[in-house]
Amino acid sequence: MRKQDSTNARNEASILRNCGMAYALNVIGGRWKPTILFSLLEGKMRYNELRKTIPGVSERMLVAQLRELEEHGLVRRNVFPEVPPRVEYELTELGHSTEPMLQCMSDWGNMHRKKEQVIAVQ
Amino acid sequence: MRKQDSTNARNEASILRNCGMAYALNVIGGRWKPTILFSLLEGKMRYNELRKTIPGVSERMLVAQLRELEEHGLVRRNVFPEVPPRVEYELTELGHSTEPMLQCMSDWGNMHRKKEQVIAVQ
DNA sequence: ACGCATACTTACCTTTTTGTTAGTACTTAA
DNA sequence: TTAAGTACTAACAAAAAGGTAAGTATGCGT
C-alpha cells in the first residue's frame, strides 16, 4: 500500500505530472513488465501460459503486474465462465501503441550490452 | 549494497542478460534519471545547477544517480581543480545516443497522460 | 469421497530504493 | 575569526518493490 503523504510519494507524483518519460517508465517499468509485454505482442495468452513462458515469476508478481498493466489500459483481461477457469490476456490498442517505444528501448539496450561485452572481452 | 545471492538479485541479473529493454530500463530508469538526462541534453551543467534545476532531489539521490549514469557511460564528470570546486556534468556520445529513445518515451507518456485527462474530464 | 486443474488471493518477510540530517575540505572575502 | 560557497559523504530511517508459502473456489473424472 502507498502512503500518500510521504515525501517519496509526493516526489513521484510531481514528476509523473511533469515528465512524460517518467510517466512512461511508471507504466512499462518494473521487473516483469517488459517480458510480459513482449510476450503479449505475439498474441493473446492464458495466465498459465504466461507463467510458463516467463521463467522466475512468482504468481503474486505476475498477477500484480498484469493488474497494473490492466489499470493503465495496456492489457485486457477476458474471463471465460468455464470450469476449469480460462482467462486470456491480450494487449489493447493502447498496449499495441507501445510497440515502437518498446522496440526502441530493446534495440538500444541490446546495442549497449554488446558494447559492454566487447569492452569486457578486449 | 546489494545482496548477490538473493532471489531478487538473481532474477534481476537473469532478466538483464536476456532482455534489452529491461537492460535499458536499468540504465535510464529510477526516480531522477529522466529529469537529469533531459537537463543534460540541453548542454553541460554544474552540480549545483542540476540541483536547482531539478526540484525535490536530495543531494544523496542526485549524486547517486549521476554516479550510476557515469558508471553506465552515459555521463562524463569533469572536475576542475579550483577553489571553490567546479564539477561539470555532460552527456557522452553514448548518452546522446539515448535521445531518440528518451524522446519516444516522452512522447508516448505525454500522449497517454492526455488521454487519461480527457477521460477524467468527460 | 478425493484428487486434479486453473487462476488466483493472502499474510508475512526480505531486499532495494529513496529520503533526512549532519558533517567534510578548501579558500576567499568581510 | 567567522561566514559563505562548492561539491560532496556517511549514518540512519522510511517506504516501496519483490519473494515465499500456503490457501481458495469450482466442477469434472475416477
> Can you tell me the mean pLDDT for B32-38?
97
**Domain match, B53 and B2 both:** no
- Name the least confident of A2-6, A34-38, B94-98: A2-6
**Nucleic strand D near CB of residue A11 (< 7 Å):** no
**Domain match, B75 and B37 both:** yes
**Domain match, B40 and B66 both:** yes
**Nucleic strand C near CB of residue B81 (< 7 Å):** no
Of the candidates B11, B14, B21, the beta carbon closest to that of A106 is on B21
Predicted local distance difference test score (pLDDT) of residue A17: 86
**Domain match, B15 and B71 both:** no
Q: Which helix (H) or strand (E) holds A53?
A: helix A47-53
Domain count, chain A: 2
CA distance readout (Å), A61 to A47, A57, B84: 12, 6, 49
Which chain A residues are within 8 Å of B72, Cβ to Cβ?
A: 112
Tell me, yes or no, if the pTM score tops 0.85.
yes
Q: Which domain holds residue A13?
A: 1-29
**Domain match, A6 and A53 both:** no
Would you say A107 and A58 are in contact if contact means Cβ atoms under 8 Å apart?
no
Predicted local distance difference test score (pLDDT) of residue B1: 67
Written as nine digits, the cell of B30 is 529510477
